[in-house]
A = this chain, B = another copy of it.
Amino acid sequence: MAITIDTYKDKLIPSLEIKHRINRLRNEMEQRGLGAALITYRTDYFYFSGTSQNSILYVPLENEPILFVRRDVDRAREESPLASILSYQSLRQLPDLINEHAGRIPQVVGLELDVLPARDFFRFKKIFEGVEFKDSSPAIMSCRMKKTAFEIEQIRKAAQIAREVFEAGRNLLRLGIREIEFGALLELEAKKRGHEGLIRMRGLNCEGYSWHILSGPSGSIVSEADTPAGGSGLSPAFPMGASRRKIQAHEPILVDFTICYSGYISDQSRIFCIGELPEKFVRAYEFCRGALARILKEARPGVKCEELFWVAERMARDQGYEDGYLGLPGKKAKFVGHGVGLEANEIPRLAVGQNYPLEASVVVAIEPKVVFPGEGVVGIENTYLITDEGYEKLTLIDEEVLQV
């Protein structure tokens, strides 16, 4: 079976890394009164086991975790360093298998209630008779929020791909090219370099678009997601991002391109322009760079996440950008930054009401943007690692307007 992972042996998650993650989860579980967790959501069990094969991961406070694999147990064993990996065919077998291999099932068990469908939840309730199920997602997301050195390394690799893709963009952009074609050309460059294409997001109806290309007026169109500029998209079925519009000269072209490498996400935006960008957009872009710098000045462990939102918000008001900052009035995005990792919408959120402190080792994308009704959007987005001293920029792309 060695053929399976020949092409990505170097991407397997090391055994010590998995041990460390499981230990952190146990700490979180203990604090929240969970005796065990049944992890059913792919992103989560990949994080704690190292494999995305069709599985359910059982993690008790005591005793070793068990990965129950439904489809290819051999491949799961190749990919995951966990010691106990068993095959199963039906959820009904799990209580007995757990009792046999990991002792008595505790009274209170965690399930990811923010993503597990209600129908599946009721099935667990019926099969694990007498068990009280509580939401394990806060514990899991709290673990996943703080990135390990291994994870930061993957995000660095994603950011390096991003740098090359934005650089290639200078040669691919031309007058009259459609937004969708420009984006697809960038995507080809990205995939050649290891971009996985799919972007994971958590929660009902959260669909991951790897990229948005919004030229001129497209940049002021609002859509379903909580972002300053959604764009038109190709149809009412997927009403976000690149459209068939032909890109013109002297208009801002927002390229918001997310790269996924080994499951890990780097998120970044830049403004391209064919010919010179009119002065008012340049000024607004410089405001966005200033707002980003202002946020970063405060960005260190201990600062309230909400406060990072407000410092830039106040600056927008002071400089007369309150109308277009983070979107048009009544349709503004409610955040200026978000955690990234295995998903594009992780914690921490730099947003109103996020009253918890920023911590070292979190990775956040910060993206101040300004929208001009009917004319477009400008802005910048980088992904940063928060360190003990402050931050480190992971997305090392030229920050000037990328003029061609």
A357 within 8 A of B: no
Identify A71's interface contact among B4, B226, B234, CB under 8 A. Answer: B226
Number of copies: 2
In Å, the complex CA distance between A5 and B198 comes to 26
Q: Name the residue on B nearest A188 (C-beta).
A: B184
Chain B positions within 8 Å of A72 at CB level: 222-224, 230, 331
A23 within 8 A of B: no
Contact with B along A95-122 (1 / 0, CB 8 A): 0000000000000000101111111111
A90 within 8 A of B: no
Chain B positions within 8 Å of A261 at CB level: 235
Given A7-B234, A52-B237, A71-B222, 14 further pairs, Cβ under 8 A = A3-B220, A7-B245, A12-B236, A42-B207, A52-B236, A52-B238, A53-B223, A113-B117, A116-B117, A120-B204, A180-B192, A188-B188, A194-B244, A196-B237
Chain A residues in the interface with B (C-beta under 8 A): 3-8, 11-13, 40-42, 46, 50-54, 71-72, 75, 79, 111, 113-122, 135, 137, 178, 180-181, 183-185, 187-188, 191-192, 194, 196-198, 203-205, 207, 209, 217, 220-226, 230, 232-239, 243-245, 260-264, 331, 342, 374
Please, could you name 29 A-B residue pairs with CB atoms under 8 Å apart, sorted by A? Answer: A3-B220, A8-B244, A41-B204, A42-B205, A52-B238, A53-B224, A54-B205, A54-B225, A71-B223, A71-B331, A75-B223, A79-B239, A111-B118, A113-B119, A115-B204, A117-B117, A117-B118, A181-B188, A181-B191, A181-B192, A187-B188, A188-B188, A194-B234, A196-B233, A197-B238, A235-B262, A237-B263, A237-B342, A238-B260
